[in-house]
Structure 1
Amino acid sequence: MGKIRTIELTIEQQKALQEGYQLGKTHAFRRRCQLILLKSEGRTSKEVSCIIKMNEISVNKWLDGYESEGIEGLTTKPGRGRKQVFDQGQDEARVREVVQKERQRLAGAKVILEKELNKQFSLKTLKRFLKSLDPKINIV
């Protein structure tokens, strides 16, 4: 068995992590705060991974992030995940115009928009985008 990697926390750091664990905006951030608190108790990465249901490698990765950046290292960085197909600023006007012309046939609007915007997307994606523009729209 290897050496247990622990982290020493000051009282201020413990308070900040406790607050993040109890009041953090996202579930992921709260779990990461809990992870650091558990590691500061001298638990192994394997024990922590079982408690918070996270891969052991991820536990060590978030511990590295905390050690290098502090509590800011536990937040999810912007730009993660799949990029949006439509840009509200650029595509909104054209999408509204084409959908208005093809309002009885959304599939037809989709075909036109795919050609004009040179993007591939599903009918469901188009519906979600329209819904994001105006939540009152009732799209079936």
Structure 2
Amino acid sequence: MARRFVAPLTESEQQTLTSAYHHGEKRALRRRAHAILLSDQGHTIDQISEILQVRRDAVSRWLKQWETSGLDGLIDKPRSGRTPILDEHDHQRLQELVAEQPHQIRSLQARFQEETGKTLSTVTLRRALKKK
């Protein structure tokens, strides 16, 4: 079995990874930075995958991403997700309708659908009103 390690890290890279490991916002980034640091210390991919409780191919992918893209390779890329049902104009119109009838969520829902043609559940409507 091949023993693959990352190229020796510079002092700057070690500091960057240590900072990401200790203070990174996302758990995934902290875990990936930890994997790179463990590899630099001489741990094999199998050992790292056992320590971090992840699959071997994930660790291998992280090492490749580190070597090709550095820290940027360890950060998750933005994902598209679902497009929002309501745009800024819709949010403004909802606020206007609430000002007219603040305690009538069902009538608000019906009027909004009548005006815009967009159907909203009461949960979506409440969530939209809480945002603003």
TM range, normalised to the smaller chain?
A: 0.7 to 0.9
1:53 shift after superposition = 3.4
Q: How many residue pairs align between the two structures?
A: 131
Which residue in 2 is equivalent to 1:106? 105
1:130 shift after superposition = 1.5
TM-score by length of 2: 0.74
- For the 8 Å contact 1:4–1:43, the answer to whether it is kept is no
1:4-44 Cα deviation digits (max 9, x unpaired): 32102222211211111112233322222112112223333
Residue 77 of structure 1 aligns to which amino acid in structure 2?
K
Q: Which has the higher contact order (CA 8 A, sep 6+)?
A: 2
Residues 118-133 of structure 1 correspond to what in structure 2 (within 5 A)? 119=118, 121-133=120-132
Percent identity over paired residues: 32
CA distance in structure 2 between the partners assigned to 1:46 and 1:3 by the alignment: 11
What CA RMSD, in Å, does the superposition of the two structures yield over aligned residues? Answer: 2.7
Structure 1 residue ranges (4+ consecutive) displaced by more than 6 angstroms after TM superposition = none
TM-score by length of 1: 0.71
Worse overlay, 52-61 or 12-21: 52-61
SS of equivalent residue, structure 2 residue 42: coil
Which structure: larger Rg? 2
